[in-house]
Structure 1
Protein backbone atom coordinates (compact mmCIF):
# COMPACT_ATOMS: atom_id res chain seq x y z
CA UNK A 1 0.00 0.00 0.00
CA UNK A 2 1.29 3.45 -0.94
CA UNK A 3 1.59 6.06 1.82
CA UNK A 4 2.84 9.65 1.98
CA UNK A 5 6.42 8.36 2.37
CA UNK A 6 6.12 7.08 -1.23
CA UNK A 7 5.24 10.55 -2.59
CA UNK A 8 8.24 12.43 -3.97
CA UNK A 9 8.31 16.13 -3.14
CA UNK A 10 9.03 19.19 -5.25
CA UNK A 11 12.70 19.50 -6.02
CA UNK A 12 12.99 15.81 -6.93
CA UNK A 13 14.24 15.58 -10.55
CA UNK A 14 11.60 13.00 -11.62
CA UNK A 15 8.91 15.69 -11.25
CA UNK A 16 10.57 17.78 -13.97
CA UNK A 17 11.17 15.07 -16.57
CA UNK A 18 8.89 13.93 -19.35
CA UNK A 19 7.49 10.52 -18.45
CA UNK A 20 7.82 7.57 -20.83
CA UNK A 21 4.92 5.94 -22.66
CA UNK A 22 3.80 2.64 -21.15
CA UNK A 23 4.17 -0.24 -23.61
CA UNK A 24 0.81 -1.93 -24.15
CA UNK A 25 -0.23 -4.45 -23.12
CA UNK A 26 1.25 -3.32 -19.80
CA UNK A 27 3.47 -5.50 -17.65
CA UNK A 28 2.14 -6.96 -14.42
CA UNK A 29 4.43 -4.53 -12.59
CA UNK A 30 2.87 -1.53 -14.38
CA UNK A 31 -0.64 -2.82 -13.65
CA UNK A 32 0.27 -3.29 -9.98
CA UNK A 33 1.73 0.24 -9.78
CA UNK A 34 -1.36 1.80 -11.36
CA UNK A 35 -3.75 -0.16 -9.13
CA UNK A 36 -1.71 0.97 -6.09
CA UNK A 37 -2.02 4.58 -7.25
CA UNK A 38 -5.83 4.54 -7.51
CA UNK A 39 -6.00 2.71 -4.18
CA UNK A 40 -3.89 5.48 -2.60
CA UNK A 41 -6.15 8.24 -3.95
CA UNK A 42 -9.29 6.44 -2.73
CA UNK A 43 -7.71 5.68 0.68
CA UNK A 44 -6.65 9.32 1.06
CA UNK A 45 -10.31 10.34 0.81
CA UNK A 46 -11.44 7.83 3.46
CA UNK A 47 -11.24 9.65 6.82
CA UNK A 48 -10.48 6.51 8.87
CA UNK A 49 -7.80 5.13 6.54
CA UNK A 50 -6.30 8.58 5.95
CA UNK A 51 -6.01 9.16 9.71
CA UNK A 52 -4.60 5.69 10.37
CA UNK A 53 -1.86 6.03 7.73
CA UNK A 54 -1.44 9.84 7.92
CA UNK A 55 -2.44 10.34 4.28
CA UNK A 56 -3.03 13.82 2.89
CA UNK A 57 -6.31 13.84 0.95
CA UNK A 58 -5.86 13.84 -2.80
CA UNK A 59 -8.07 13.57 -5.87
CA UNK A 60 -5.38 12.61 -8.35
CA UNK A 61 -1.92 11.11 -8.59
CA UNK A 62 0.58 10.74 -11.42
CA UNK A 63 3.27 8.04 -11.53
CA UNK A 64 6.17 10.55 -11.42
CA UNK A 65 4.86 11.58 -7.98
CA UNK A 66 5.85 8.13 -6.69
CA UNK A 67 9.17 8.25 -8.50
CA UNK A 68 8.01 6.26 -11.55
CA UNK A 69 8.70 8.17 -14.82
CA UNK A 70 5.87 6.50 -16.75
CA UNK A 71 2.67 7.89 -18.27
CA UNK A 72 0.15 6.66 -15.69
CA UNK A 73 -2.43 8.63 -13.70
CA UNK A 74 -5.10 7.85 -11.13
CA UNK A 75 -8.07 10.18 -10.60
CA UNK A 76 -10.96 9.78 -8.14
CA UNK A 77 -13.12 12.90 -8.09
CA UNK A 78 -16.79 13.88 -8.29
CA UNK A 79 -18.10 16.73 -10.41
CA UNK A 80 -20.51 19.40 -9.11
CA UNK A 81 -23.45 17.08 -9.83
CA UNK A 82 -21.92 14.29 -7.76
CA UNK A 83 -20.94 12.13 -10.74
CA UNK A 84 -17.82 10.15 -9.85
CA UNK A 85 -14.86 10.05 -12.21
CA UNK A 86 -12.67 7.21 -10.99
CA UNK A 87 -9.97 6.19 -13.46
CA UNK A 88 -6.60 4.47 -13.44
CA UNK A 89 -5.13 5.20 -16.88
CA UNK A 90 -2.15 4.38 -19.04
CA UNK A 91 -0.86 6.93 -21.57
CA UNK A 92 -3.57 9.60 -21.12
CA UNK A 93 -3.50 12.24 -23.82
CA UNK A 94 -5.54 15.41 -24.26
CA UNK A 95 -6.78 15.16 -27.85
CA UNK A 96 -8.93 18.31 -27.90
CA UNK A 97 -9.78 21.24 -25.65
CA UNK A 98 -11.99 24.29 -25.49
CA UNK A 99 -10.89 27.84 -26.14
CA UNK A 100 -12.64 28.81 -22.91
CA UNK A 101 -10.67 28.54 -19.72
CA UNK A 102 -11.51 27.90 -16.09
CA UNK A 103 -9.65 27.97 -12.80
CA UNK A 104 -10.27 26.96 -9.21
CA UNK A 105 -11.12 30.09 -7.23
CA UNK A 106 -9.27 28.65 -4.23
CA UNK A 107 -6.21 27.70 -6.27
CA UNK A 108 -4.70 24.24 -6.68
CA UNK A 109 -2.67 22.04 -4.39
CA UNK A 110 -0.49 19.00 -4.94
CA UNK A 111 0.55 15.99 -2.88
CA UNK A 112 4.15 16.66 -3.97
CA UNK A 113 4.06 20.27 -2.73
CA UNK A 114 4.18 20.70 1.04
CA UNK A 115 3.52 24.44 0.96
CA UNK A 116 0.58 26.60 0.05
CA UNK A 117 1.01 28.26 -3.34
CA UNK A 118 -1.35 31.18 -3.92
CA UNK A 119 -2.67 32.14 -7.31
CA UNK A 120 -5.01 31.17 -10.11
CA UNK A 121 -4.05 28.27 -12.37
CA UNK A 122 -5.64 28.72 -15.82
CA UNK A 123 -6.89 25.47 -17.34
CA UNK A 124 -9.05 24.53 -20.33
CA UNK A 125 -12.74 24.53 -19.37
CA UNK A 126 -13.40 21.35 -21.39
CA UNK A 127 -11.08 18.63 -22.61
CA UNK A 128 -11.27 15.26 -24.33
CA UNK A 129 -8.83 12.63 -23.11
CA UNK A 130 -7.93 9.33 -24.76
CA UNK A 131 -6.26 6.64 -22.67
CA UNK A 132 -6.17 2.94 -21.82
CA UNK A 133 -7.67 1.79 -18.52
CA UNK A 134 -5.86 -0.49 -16.10
CA UNK A 135 -8.15 -3.25 -17.45
CA UNK A 136 -6.97 -2.69 -21.03
CA UNK A 137 -10.03 -0.82 -22.32
CA UNK A 138 -9.49 2.17 -24.61
CA UNK A 139 -11.53 5.14 -23.41
CA UNK A 140 -12.35 8.61 -24.70
CA UNK A 141 -13.47 10.91 -21.89
CA UNK A 142 -15.17 14.27 -22.36
CA UNK A 143 -14.53 16.29 -19.22
CA UNK A 144 -15.50 19.68 -17.83
CA UNK A 145 -15.44 21.39 -14.46
CA UNK A 146 -13.32 19.96 -11.65
CA UNK A 147 -12.64 16.60 -13.40
CA UNK A 148 -11.18 18.49 -16.41
CA UNK A 149 -8.92 20.49 -14.10
CA UNK A 150 -7.76 17.38 -12.22
CA UNK A 151 -6.94 15.50 -15.44
CA UNK A 152 -4.95 18.50 -16.74
CA UNK A 153 -3.05 18.74 -13.44
CA UNK A 154 -2.12 15.04 -13.54
CA UNK A 155 -1.24 15.01 -17.26
CA UNK A 156 0.99 18.05 -16.61
CA UNK A 157 2.95 15.87 -14.15
CA UNK A 158 3.64 13.45 -17.02
CA UNK A 159 5.25 16.33 -18.91
CA UNK A 160 7.36 17.65 -16.04
CA UNK A 161 5.04 20.60 -15.38
CA UNK A 162 3.99 21.67 -11.89
CA UNK A 163 0.67 23.49 -11.31
CA UNK A 164 2.40 26.67 -10.14
CA UNK A 165 4.21 26.95 -13.48
CA UNK A 166 0.87 28.21 -14.86
CA UNK A 167 0.39 30.95 -12.25
CA UNK A 168 1.04 34.53 -13.43
CA UNK A 169 4.23 35.33 -11.51
CA UNK A 170 3.70 39.10 -11.74
CA UNK A 171 0.08 39.00 -10.57
CA UNK A 172 -0.90 35.58 -9.14
CA UNK A 173 -4.55 36.60 -8.75
CA UNK A 174 -4.97 38.14 -12.20
CA UNK A 175 -8.15 36.68 -13.69
CA UNK A 176 -7.03 34.45 -16.58
CA UNK A 177 -8.29 35.68 -19.94
CA UNK A 178 -11.55 34.10 -21.19
CA UNK A 179 -11.88 32.14 -17.92
CA UNK A 180 -14.68 31.22 -15.53
CA UNK A 181 -13.96 30.56 -11.85
CA UNK A 182 -14.91 27.19 -10.35
CA UNK A 183 -15.63 26.55 -6.70
CA UNK A 184 -14.31 23.26 -5.40
Structure 2
Protein backbone atom coordinates (compact mmCIF):
# COMPACT_ATOMS: atom_id res chain seq x y z
CA UNK A 1 0.00 0.00 0.00
CA UNK A 2 1.30 3.42 -0.90
CA UNK A 3 -0.13 6.78 0.26
CA UNK A 4 1.03 10.22 -0.85
CA UNK A 5 0.49 12.85 1.84
CA UNK A 6 0.58 16.63 1.32
CA UNK A 7 -0.45 19.59 3.44
CA UNK A 8 -0.40 23.34 3.61
CA UNK A 9 -0.25 24.04 -0.11
CA UNK A 10 -1.76 27.50 0.48
CA UNK A 11 -3.17 28.14 -2.98
CA UNK A 12 -0.60 26.24 -5.04
CA UNK A 13 -2.16 24.12 -7.75
CA UNK A 14 0.60 23.28 -10.23
CA UNK A 15 2.63 21.58 -7.52
CA UNK A 16 -0.34 19.43 -6.50
CA UNK A 17 -0.88 18.37 -10.11
CA UNK A 18 2.81 17.54 -10.52
CA UNK A 19 2.82 15.39 -7.37
CA UNK A 20 -0.25 13.47 -8.54
CA UNK A 21 1.23 12.96 -11.99
CA UNK A 22 4.53 11.76 -10.49
CA UNK A 23 2.87 9.15 -8.24
CA UNK A 24 -0.44 8.33 -9.96
CA UNK A 25 0.68 4.89 -11.19
CA UNK A 26 1.93 3.74 -7.78
CA UNK A 27 -0.25 5.41 -5.14
CA UNK A 28 -3.32 3.78 -3.64
CA UNK A 29 -4.30 6.91 -1.73
CA UNK A 30 -3.68 10.65 -2.05
CA UNK A 31 -4.21 12.67 1.14
CA UNK A 32 -4.32 16.45 1.60
CA UNK A 33 -4.17 17.49 5.26
CA UNK A 34 -5.71 20.92 4.77
CA UNK A 35 -4.91 24.55 4.06
CA UNK A 36 -5.16 24.01 0.33
CA UNK A 37 -7.00 27.34 0.05
CA UNK A 38 -8.63 25.94 -3.10
CA UNK A 39 -12.30 25.43 -3.81
CA UNK A 40 -13.88 22.05 -3.20
CA UNK A 41 -14.37 21.80 -6.97
CA UNK A 42 -10.71 22.44 -7.83
CA UNK A 43 -9.55 19.81 -10.33
CA UNK A 44 -6.14 19.63 -8.61
CA UNK A 45 -7.81 18.32 -5.45
CA UNK A 46 -9.94 15.68 -7.21
CA UNK A 47 -7.55 12.74 -6.54
CA UNK A 48 -7.12 13.70 -2.87
CA UNK A 49 -8.97 12.85 0.31
CA UNK A 50 -9.12 16.42 1.66
CA UNK A 51 -9.79 17.93 5.09
CA UNK A 52 -10.34 21.52 6.14
CA UNK A 53 -7.48 23.58 7.52
CA UNK A 54 -7.66 26.80 9.48
CA UNK A 55 -7.08 28.81 6.25
CA UNK A 56 -9.70 26.94 4.19
CA UNK A 57 -13.15 28.28 3.50
CA UNK A 58 -14.44 25.45 1.33
CA UNK A 59 -16.84 22.89 2.77
CA UNK A 60 -14.29 20.20 3.58
CA UNK A 61 -14.77 18.06 6.72
CA UNK A 62 -12.54 18.77 9.74
CA UNK A 63 -11.38 15.16 9.80
CA UNK A 64 -11.82 11.93 7.92
CA UNK A 65 -11.04 8.28 8.43
CA UNK A 66 -10.04 6.17 5.46
CA UNK A 67 -9.12 2.51 5.14
CA UNK A 68 -6.54 1.13 2.75
CA UNK A 69 -5.34 -2.47 2.76
CA UNK A 70 -6.15 -3.03 6.42
CA UNK A 71 -4.74 0.29 7.69
CA UNK A 72 -7.06 2.89 9.17
CA UNK A 73 -6.02 6.49 8.58
CA UNK A 74 -7.14 9.48 10.63
CA UNK A 75 -6.73 12.62 8.53
CA UNK A 76 -6.99 16.10 10.02
CA UNK A 77 -5.26 19.44 9.72
CA UNK A 78 -4.24 19.52 13.37
CA UNK A 79 -5.24 23.03 14.43
CA UNK A 80 -8.22 21.68 16.39
CA UNK A 81 -5.88 19.39 18.35
CA UNK A 82 -3.12 21.83 19.33
CA UNK A 83 -0.44 20.00 17.33
CA UNK A 84 1.99 22.90 17.51
CA UNK A 85 2.51 22.18 21.21
CA UNK A 86 1.76 18.47 21.65
CA UNK A 87 0.42 15.40 19.87
CA UNK A 88 -1.38 14.16 22.99
CA UNK A 89 -4.89 15.30 22.01
CA UNK A 90 -4.40 13.93 18.50
CA UNK A 91 -3.12 10.65 19.95
CA UNK A 92 -6.31 10.33 22.04
CA UNK A 93 -8.41 11.00 18.93
CA UNK A 94 -6.43 8.34 17.05
CA UNK A 95 -7.23 5.84 19.80
CA UNK A 96 -10.94 6.81 19.69
CA UNK A 97 -11.04 6.13 15.95
CA UNK A 98 -8.81 3.02 16.09
CA UNK A 99 -6.40 4.67 13.64
CA UNK A 100 -3.10 3.03 12.78
CA UNK A 101 -1.82 6.11 10.93
CA UNK A 102 -2.52 9.79 11.59
CA UNK A 103 -1.85 12.33 8.84
CA UNK A 104 -1.84 15.99 9.83
CA UNK A 105 -0.27 19.33 9.00
CA UNK A 106 -0.66 22.87 10.39
CA UNK A 107 2.86 23.28 11.82
CA UNK A 108 4.56 23.07 8.39
CA UNK A 109 7.22 20.86 10.06
CA UNK A 110 8.00 17.64 8.17
CA UNK A 111 8.41 14.52 10.28
CA UNK A 112 7.16 11.11 11.29
CA UNK A 113 7.05 9.41 14.66
CA UNK A 114 5.32 6.51 16.33
CA UNK A 115 3.62 6.82 19.70
CA UNK A 116 2.44 3.58 21.31
CA UNK A 117 1.77 1.90 17.99
CA UNK A 118 0.20 4.89 16.21
CA UNK A 119 2.19 6.33 13.31
CA UNK A 120 2.01 10.14 12.98
CA UNK A 121 2.97 11.75 9.66
CA UNK A 122 3.29 15.47 9.06
CA UNK A 123 4.33 15.98 5.43
CA UNK A 124 5.48 19.55 6.06
CA UNK A 125 4.38 22.17 3.56
CA UNK A 126 4.73 22.33 -0.21
CA UNK A 127 4.37 26.12 0.01
CA UNK A 128 5.84 27.54 3.23
CA UNK A 129 8.15 25.07 5.03
CA UNK A 130 9.37 25.63 8.56
CA UNK A 131 12.54 24.18 9.99
CA UNK A 132 14.07 23.46 6.58
CA UNK A 133 14.31 25.04 3.16
CA UNK A 134 12.77 22.18 1.16
CA UNK A 135 9.06 22.33 0.39
CA UNK A 136 8.05 18.78 1.29
CA UNK A 137 5.46 16.04 1.00
CA UNK A 138 5.52 12.46 2.30
CA UNK A 139 5.09 9.00 0.81
CA UNK A 140 4.09 6.13 3.09
CA UNK A 141 4.81 2.61 1.87
CA UNK A 142 3.34 -0.15 4.03
CA UNK A 143 3.72 -3.90 3.57
CA UNK A 144 4.33 -6.98 5.70
CA UNK A 145 4.02 -5.16 9.03
CA UNK A 146 6.52 -2.45 8.07
CA UNK A 147 5.89 1.18 7.16
CA UNK A 148 8.46 3.42 5.51
CA UNK A 149 7.91 7.16 5.38
CA UNK A 150 9.95 9.05 2.81
CA UNK A 151 9.93 12.80 2.24
CA UNK A 152 10.34 14.49 -1.13
CA UNK A 153 10.71 18.06 -2.29
CA UNK A 154 8.26 19.46 -4.82
CA UNK A 155 10.65 18.51 -7.66
CA UNK A 156 10.37 14.85 -6.58
CA UNK A 157 13.86 14.55 -5.08
CA UNK A 158 14.20 12.62 -1.79
CA UNK A 159 14.99 14.82 1.22
CA UNK A 160 18.06 13.34 2.96
CA UNK A 161 17.86 12.40 6.61
CA UNK A 162 14.07 12.23 6.97
CA UNK A 163 13.29 8.66 5.85
CA UNK A 164 12.16 6.38 8.66
CA UNK A 165 10.85 2.81 8.93
CA UNK A 166 8.40 1.62 11.59
CA UNK A 167 6.67 -1.60 12.62
CA UNK A 168 2.93 -1.40 12.21
| TM-score of the two chains, using structure 1 as the length reference | 0.29
Q: Write 1 or 2 for the structure with the bigger share of helix.
A: 1
Using the size of structure 2 for normalisation, the TM-score is 0.31
Q: Which has the higher contact order (CA 8 A, sep 6+)?
A: 1
Structure whose residues are more often strand by fraction: 2
Greater Rg over alpha carbons, structure: 1
